[in-house]
């Protein structure tokens, strides 16, 4: 009986430990506008983001938890008003069906922060994928050894 009671008491502790990594992450304090987009799934106005026309080489990281998300070599100009990437760093981005049933939301796999949406089959690149990402959801870290972004030479 004691073992059974012990096991039932232990289950909530184990379940909480599985969900703990997000709680134990060091998260940046967000501005009101950053929180509107990252936490509440907002969208910044098109053609206003810091990284829409960024042509530097490096890596784009999550604004909230600093996880690496995208490499500049996968950035391309889709003329949509937001930074576009045709690939993400393996395991960095999670896809979730959007509440509208039409689109697929993309979030940081580490902290769950809203990044934007992913679109398939548009034909912009050979990978036929466009991650449409809010600049405000990212931080760019320059890397002098990274490759030039596609179509940005």
Active site residues: 132
Q: Say how far apart CA 73 and CA 38 lie, in whole Å.
A: 24
Which runs of E-coded beta strand occur in the chain?
58-62, 68-71, 75-76, 84-85, 93-97, 104-108, 114-120, 129-133, 138-142
What residues contact residue 137 under an 8 Å CB cut-off, 6+ apart? 34, 37, 38, 62, 63, 64, 108, 113, 114, 115, 116
3-state secondary structure (DSSP) of residue 42: coil
């Amino acid at each position: 009986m004691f073992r059974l009671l012990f096991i039932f008491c232990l289950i909530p502790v184990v379940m909480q430990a599985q969900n703990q990594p997000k709680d134990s992450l060091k998260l940046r304090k967000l501005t009101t506008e950053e929180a509107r987009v990252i936490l509440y799934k907002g969208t910044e106005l098109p053609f206003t983001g810091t990284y829409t026309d960024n042509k530097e080489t490096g890596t784009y990281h999550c604004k909230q938890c600093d996880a690496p998300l995208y490499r500049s070599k996968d950035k391309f100009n889709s003329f949509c008003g937001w930074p576009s990437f045709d690939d993400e760093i393996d395991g960095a981005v999670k896809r979730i069906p959007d509440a509208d049933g039409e689109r697929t939301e993309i979030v940081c796999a580490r902290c769950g922060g809203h990044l934007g949406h992913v679109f398939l089959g548009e034909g912009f690149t050979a990978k036929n994928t466009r991650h449409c990402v809010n600049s405000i959801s990212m931080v760019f870290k320059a890397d002098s050894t990274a490759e030039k972004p596609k179509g940005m030479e």
